[in-house]
Amino acid sequence: MKRIRLALLALVAAGAAAATLVSCGGGEPARPDVVLIVIDTLRPDHLELYGYEKETAPFLTRLAAHGVVFEKVRSTSSWTAPATASILTSLHPVQHGVLTGFKAMQVLGRVDPRISVNRVPEGVQTVAEAFREAGYSTWGVSDNVNICRALGFEAGFDRFEEYADLGAAQVNAAVKRWTKELGESRPYFLYLHYMDPHRPYKPHDPWFKPMPGELAYSISAYDSEIRYVDERIAELSELLRWDRGTMVVITSDHGEEFLDHGDWDHGRTLYEEVLAVPLVFAPSRDLRIAPRRIAEPVSLLDLVPTLREFAHLQPGASDQGISLLPFLRGEGAPPADRAFLSDLRSAPWFGLRTLKSIVVSNEKLIVTLPEQVELFDLVLDPRERNSLAGQRPDVARELRARIERFESECPKFTPETVSTTLDEEGLEKLRSLGYLK
C-alpha cells in the first residue's frame, strides 16, 4: 500500500558534506552503502570495548577501533517492538503507537490464539522508505518475531525476510542469497536484526564455559551468543566488502537484566541495565571519519537523523532525535542537557504495568503508574539502588511534569492494530522467547 509521506526527500547538492566522504570523478559526493545491525538484547557492559573483562566481540572491537563509539546511549523502551520502531522512525513509542507487539493475552487461564498487536502506522516514514526514495536499494532480515510484516516493519524494503529466532546463521544465509543482487544494486541500505543473544540463551562452543549456579551459567551462555553473532557479522563483512565505501552501524534495541534488580529478562522495568545499549558507527577507512569516543549521552532516536544526513537526505519532518554526524566528524559534542524519555507497557505476567522514565543530566525519574515514583542520581548511584523521591519531591514533580507535558504536546500518529491467529507452533515460539506465559 502506498504510504502517506510526511516530507519530501531529495539529494543534497553535490558539495554538501563532501568533506565527510570520498569524492567520485566529476566532484559528486560518493553514495556509500549503509548497514544497520541491531543485535537484540545486547548489554554494552558485556562488550570489551565498553570495559568488559571477557573478549566477547573481537570483530566489533576492531570495527570500533577505526570508528566512533558512543559511551552513553539510551533506548526508548526495554523490549523489542517499541524500541525498534523508534530506531527505524525516530519517534517515541507514544508517538508511533507500537506498544504491544506479540505479547499474547490469557483468557480464563487459557491462551487466546487470536492476538491483536500494534503496527507501525501508515503515516510514519521509516528509514528504509527514506533511503528507497533517495535511490537506494533496501534490504532487511529480521530474526525477531516482533519485527515482521504483521507489525508493519517491512515498509520501505525492496526485499524483506523474517524469521523467529532461527539464529545468526539463518540471517546470514538470507543475505548470502542476495550477494550478487546487492553488488549490482549499489548503493544499498541493509538492515539486519540478529536475535542472538536473546533468551533462551544457547551455549556456543568453544566460547561457552560451564559455570556453577544459574546466574553464572546464564551469563556464560549469553556471552557465548555475543561471540557467535560477532563471528557471523565478521563473515558478512568479508563477503560484502564492508571495508570499502560502507558505513556500518551496530546497536541494540535494549539490554537485559541478570538479577540487577532482583529479576531476569527485560520488559519488566526501566532501569539502566535494560535501557543502556551500545552504539558504534564504523565507516570504512575511505570515508575518512576519525576514530573517537563520545561520552555525552545520546538516544536511539538519533540514528535516523544521522543516517539521513550521512546519505545526503533532507531532515525528516517528524524526527525526534538529532543528527550525530557533526560529532562523528569531530565538530564539537552532543548537548549534555537533553531529556531522554522511555516508555514500557509490560506483559500480563509482569503485571500489565505502565512505566515512564526521563533522564536529564544525572537525574533519572521512573514512574510506575499511577503513583509509584523513583528518583535516582546516576552519578552518585549508577546502579539505581537508593531512590531520592522522598528527599527531593520538588525534583520528582518537575521531571514528572516534563513527561506529561511532552506526551500532551507531542504530535502523535493514529495507532493501528492488526489481528492475527497463531497456531500451536507459533504459540510455543512465543513461550520460548518469553513473550507468552
Per-residue pLDDT tens over the stretch 272-309: 999 999 999 999 988 888 899 999 999 999 999 999 99
**One-letter amino acid identity for 126?**
T
Position 14 scores a pLDDT of: 29
Hey, is 201 helix, strand or coil? coil
For residue range 261-272, list pLDDT tens digits in order: 999 999 999 999
Please report how many Cα atoms fall inside a 13 Å half-sphere around the Cα of residue 295, on the Cβ side: 1
Query: pTM for the complete prediction?
Result: 0.88
The residue that leads in pLDDT, 416 or 110, is 416
* Residues 142 and 148 sit within 8 Å (Cβ to Cβ): yes
Q: Tell me if 6 sits within 8 A of 161, measured CB to CB.
A: no
What is the per-residue pLDDT across 220-251, written as a single tens digit (0 to 9) for each? 999 999 999 999 999 999 999 999 999 999 99
In this predicted model, which residue has the larger pLDDT, 416 or 64? 64
Which secondary-structure segment (H or E) carries 357? strand 354-360
**CB 65 within 8 Å of CB 278:** no
Long-range contacts: 338-341, Cβ < 8 Å, 24+?
Answer: 338/297, 338/299, 339/402, 339/406, 340/74, 340/297, 340/299, 341/76, 341/92, 341/403, 341/406
* DSSP summary character for residue 402: H
Which residues are within 8 A (CB) of 190 and not within 5 positions of it... i.e. 6 or more apart?
Answer: 33, 34, 35, 36, 139, 140, 175, 182
Which residues, including other chains, have CB under 8 Å from residue 301's CB and lie 6 or more apart?
76, 86, 90, 91, 92, 319, 320, 321
> Whole-angstrom Cα distance, residue 405 to residue 362?
20
Give the residue from 148, 151, 100 showing the smallest Cα distance to 348: 100
Mention the CATH class of domain 29-335+423-433. alpha beta
Residue in 73, 128, 77, 127 with CA at minimum distance from that of residue 100: 77
Q: Report pLDDT for 2.
A: 35
For the chain, helix, strand, coil in percent to 5 are 30, 20, 45
Alpha helices by DSSP H, 151-213: 168-177, 179-184
CA separation for the pair 119, 370 (Å, rounded): 26
Percent of the chain whose predicted confidence (pLDDT) is above 90: 74
Each domain of the chain, given as residue ranges in start order, spans 29-335+423-433
Position with higher pLDDT, 432 vs 211: 211
pLDDT at 423 over 80: no
Report CA-CA distances (Å) from 267 to 13, 78, 79, 241, 386. 44, 5, 5, 36, 21
Task: Report the alpha-carbon distance of residue 95 to residue 407 in Å, rounded.
Answer: 8
Q: Among 279, 226, 357, which residue's Cα sits nearest to residue 72? A: 279
38-96 per-position pLDDT tens digit: 999 999 999 999 999 999 999 999 999 999 999 999 999 999 999 999 999 999 999 99
What is the model's pLDDT at position 313?
A: 87
Assess contact for 94 and 118: CB atoms under 8 A: no
CB 272 within 8 A of CB 382: yes
Percent of the chain past pLDDT 70, that is, above it, reads: 84
